[in-house]
Amino acid sequence: MKRFLTILAAMLTGVSVAEAQSLEGVTVESYTMERSGDYVVVDMDLNFAELKVKGVQSVMFTPHIVRDTMSVALRSIGVNGRNRHFYYLRNEDKVLTDGEDIVFRSNEVPDVVAYHAMVPFESWMDGCQLVFERSDCGCNNIELGREGAILVDRFPLEPYRPILLYLRPQAEKSKVRELSGSAFVDFPVSKMDIRPDYRNNIAELSKITSTIDSIKGDSDATITAISIKGYASPESSYLNNTRLAKGRTEALKEYVEQLYNFDEDFITTSYEPEDWAGLERFVVASHNIRNKSAILSIIRKDEDADIKEWRIKSEYPEDYQFLYDYCYPSLRHSDYVVQYEVRQYSNPREIEEIMNTAPQKLSLEEFYILAETYEVGSTELDELWEIAVRMYPNDAVANFNAANSAMDKGDYKRAMRYLDKAGDMPEVHFSRGCIEVLQENYSEALPHLEEAIKQGVDEAAAVYEAVSNHWKVTRAKR
């Protein structure tokens, strides 16, 4: 005969099972249960010093791996009383143990027995218990009683969750920002003076003045520089267009200076006589130009601008007329940039107010200051990093922190998108490993964590060790 119990239903019937580290007469001094490759391995140090077995009795100690209605019994330790020992010698077919089991005569049991067993791992064992059972048997193998103790309540204990790493951005010594745009100010033919009431000039000029006013009206901001660059379209000669682009840009500068009393050299200017780059973009995007390839070839050719313009006009007159009517007006524009500096913020409450009203004024470090006041995994923290990465879409640290926030919320696809934009910082390897860990892809996580360790991410070593031992439950000797 083999052991008494083979399935959970039979094992639990009439058996008292409690979370403990000992059964009558035997103490579990230490144990380790771990998954090693395709096997589950159990090691225990069992103290039998207090065990008492009557001469006619046989006692079996058997660990069981159990989950729901599934169970598997590991090798047993049998202790036979004197009479029972000789009975089994005469009646081998009655023996309760088999060749894998450990058997002692009661007067020969060591005080401490080192127990080792292994069984093939099966998928149902994820979340199983390790139950240690004692079974007592008397004459004719009549069962006298059973009791059990739960050594491991759940194996593994829980899906491992690493502590995610957030990076503190470097502080900006000065928070310089800028607002920019394009104004399409019209001038009468060959004229270079600003006429606000000419065509749509009021609206176009207000683009510049509204931008300046929005900054001047902000007590937290100070304008530090303004630049204007004027462009002309390719019609007419390059020399004349040079004169117009330069003169009209200077006129616009003087107009703005007079409105705000800026110092004479406060506004810087530049100009481009003919906006060939803008023309090329228009042609590439257009679906109404028959000879698109030929015209693009002319535009991209390294030759005199007047010759290129003449070739388009003479060789493709219909396309030229289309460009003249629908493209050339947009090539006569003035691009402006208003640069300003924003004061620093350090109070989390003030930072939160600014984040909700004008997040573009915050530095990444200020976002981080506020983040430290929010609970990890909270909706508020996730929204904060989403705003931060919108303000700094190409910043590696912003994307890295947004990725970790997405991981905290369980949105791993979003996290991966952000990590793809976080560059090759060592911490990125750590976070890629954490994504795999959180999805319980432990083997896939280890290479990322190894690389993070190589590159000096201290936190990676602890996660690597925890993941490596995730299928291991240990209780040391007390």
User: Locate tokens 């682009």: which residue?
Assistant: 245
Integer-rounded Cα Rg, in Å, for the chain is 40
Q: Cis omega (within 30 of 0) on the bond before 234?
A: no
Per residue in 188-222, is it b (16+ CB within 10 Å) or e — as a string? eeeebebeeeeeebeebbeebeebbeebeeeebbe
CA 233, CA 240: separation in Å to the nearest integer?
A: 11
Q: What is the 3-state secondary structure (H, E, C) of 175-201?
A: EEEEEEEEECCCCCCCCCCCCCCCCCH
CA distance 105 to 81: 6
The gap between the terminal CA atoms of the chain, to the nearest Å, is 37
**d(C-alpha 35, C-alpha 155), whole Å:** 9
| CA separation for the pair 162, 437 (Å, rounded) | 8
Cα–Cα distance measured from residue 399 to residue 417, given in angstroms and rounded to the nearest whole number: 9
* pLDDT, tens only, 369-385: 999 999 988 999 999 99
Closest by alpha carbon to 28, among 3, 7, 48, 4? Answer: 48
Tokens 């005080």, located at residue: 111
Maximal CA-CA distance, the chain: 125
| Token representation of residue 255 | 């107009």
Task: Write the CB contacts of 41 (distance below 8 Å, at least 6 apart in sequence).
Answer: 32, 33, 34, 35, 116, 117, 118
% residues pLDDT > 70 (the chain): 95
* 3-55 pLDDT, tens digit each: 333 334 334 333 334 445 778 889 999 999 998 888 999 999 999 999 999 98
Are residues 60 and 26 in contact, defined by beta-carbon separation less than 8 angstroms? no
Q: Where are the domains of the chain?
A: 8-155, 175-275+332-340, 287-330, 344-471
Residue by residue, DSSP assigns 245-288 as: HHHHHHHHHHHHHHHHT--TTTEEEEEESS-HHHHHHHHHH-SS
Protein fold of 175-275+332-340: 60s Ribosomal Protein L30; Chain: A; (3.30.1330)
Residue 350 confidence (pLDDT)? 97
pLDDT in single tens digits along all 478 residues of the chain: 333 333 343 343 333 344 457 788 899 999 999 988 889 999 999 999 999 999 889 999 999 999 999 999 999 999 999 988 888 888 887 888 887 899 999 999 999 999 999 999 998 998 899 999 999 998 877 888 889 899 998 898 778 899 999 999 998 889 999 999 999 999 887 888 999 999 999 999 999 999 999 999 999 999 999 999 999 999 989 999 999 999 999 999 999 998 998 887 899 999 999 999 999 999 999 999 999 999 999 999 999 999 999 999 999 999 999 999 999 999 999 999 999 999 999 999 999 999 999 999 999 999 999 999 999 889 999 999 999 999 999 999 999 999 999 999 999 999 999 999 999 999 999 999 999 999 988 888 999 999 999 999 999 999 999 888 888 888 876 5
3-state SS string for 313-376: HHHCHHHHHHHHHHCHHHHCCEEEEEEEEECCCCCHHHHHHHHHHCHHHCCHHHHHHHHCCCCC
- Taking the C-alpha atoms of residue 248 and residue 227, their distance in angstroms, rounded to an integer, is 14
Q: How far apart are CA 131 and CA 20, in angstroms?
A: 10
Overall CATH class of domain 8-155: mainly beta
Contact between residue 5 and residue 445 where contact means Cβ atoms under 8 Å apart: no
Residue 477: predicted pLDDT: 66
Q: Cα–Cα distance between 160 and 172 in angstroms, integer?
A: 37
Q: Identify the CATH homologous superfamily for domain 344-471.
A: Tetratricopeptide repeat domain (1.25.40.10)
Q: Fill in the DSSP letter of residue 53.
A: -
